[in-house]
């Protein structure tokens, strides 16, 4: 990835996406693309495909997701499962079809089993039951991870998954009904 690479950051206004944007900008990357959800609905497969065909990003960082705390996950399991799968599937598929050289998918530590030994290790994935309070979000994220893995295996592409953990900071969700524990405090 060069300083001139066209880098699309999906979710660039969220906590993680905005931090990635700031870091890349500070490091001299000059061709960053970020669109709001009103500019590009990532759940709309046709719109995402048209964006990729037009903008032709070299690198995609997927920091976009429907996120929330325990109450939100328990109240809206269908939305957490489907919207996250739509977003990531549309992005990954469009990236593959448009020959994007590098795709970085951001997962979540909630993908690991509820009773996984600590500290967590990658190999604990899918070894036991998920935490029921966020299993729908976790299943969607596991699907994204496995999709990137399948693309690496079948096509030899540099599509990777990273697991940010215990995030808190600027641009977090501080709503008591939908946030995670730390920002709610």
Q: What is the mean pLDDT of each run of 10 residues along the chain (185 residues)?
A: 95 94 96 98 99 99 93 94 98 99 94 88 90 94 98 98 74 63 54
pLDDT reported for residue 164: 82
Q: What is the DSSP letter of 99?
A: T
Q: Is residue 154 part of a domain?
A: yes
Q: Is residue 111 part of a domain?
A: yes
Q: Is residue 177 part of a domain?
A: yes
d(CA 52, CA 25) in angstroms, rounded, equals 22
pLDDT reported for residue 168: 56
Report the domain count for the chain.
1
Q: Is residue 1 part of a domain?
A: no
Q: Is residue 31 part of a domain?
A: yes
d(CA 103, CA 113) in angstroms, rounded, equals 26
pTM for the model: 0.88
The domain in which residue 63 lies consists of 7-184
145's tokens:
């991870």
| Cα angle value 104/22/103 (rounded, 5°) | 10
pLDDT reported for residue 172: 62
pLDDT reported for residue 104: 99
Q: Containing H/E element for 48? A: helix 45-55
Q: Is residue 110 part of a domain?
A: yes
Provide the CATH number for the domain around residue 141.
3.40.50.720
Residues tagged active-site:
137
Cis peptide before 119 (omega within 30 of 0): yes
d(CA 47, CA 54) in angstroms, rounded, equals 11
Q: Is residue 90 part of a domain?
A: yes
pLDDT reported for residue 97: 99
Q: Is residue 81 part of a domain?
A: yes
Q: Looking up tokens 């405090």, which residue turns up?
A: 185
58's tokens:
């070299």
pLDDT reported for residue 183: 59
């Amino acid at each position: 990835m060069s300083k001139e690479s066209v880098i699309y950051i999906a979710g660039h206004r969220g906590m993680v996406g905005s931090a990635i944007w700031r870091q890349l900008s500070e490091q001299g990357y000059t061709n960053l693309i970020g669109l709001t959800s009103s500019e590009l609905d990532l759940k709309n497969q046709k719109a995402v495909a048209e964006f990729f065909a037009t903008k032709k990003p070299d690198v995609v960082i997927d920091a976009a997701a429907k996120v929330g705390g325990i109450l939100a996950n328990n109240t809206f399991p269908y939305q957490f499962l489907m919207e996250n799968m739509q977003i990531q599937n549309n992005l990954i598929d469009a990236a593959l079809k448009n020959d994007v050289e590098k795709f970085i998918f951001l997962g979540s530590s909630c993908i690991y089993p509820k009773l996984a030994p600590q500290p967590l290790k990658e190999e604990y994935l899918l070894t036991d039951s998920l935490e029921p309070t966020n299993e729908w979000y976790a299943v969607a994220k596991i699907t994204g991870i496995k999709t990137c893995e399948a693309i690496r295996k079948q096509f030899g592409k540099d599509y990777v998954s990273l697991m940010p953990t215990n995030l808190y900071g600027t641009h977090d969700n501080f709503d008591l009904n939908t946030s995670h524990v730390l920002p709610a405090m």
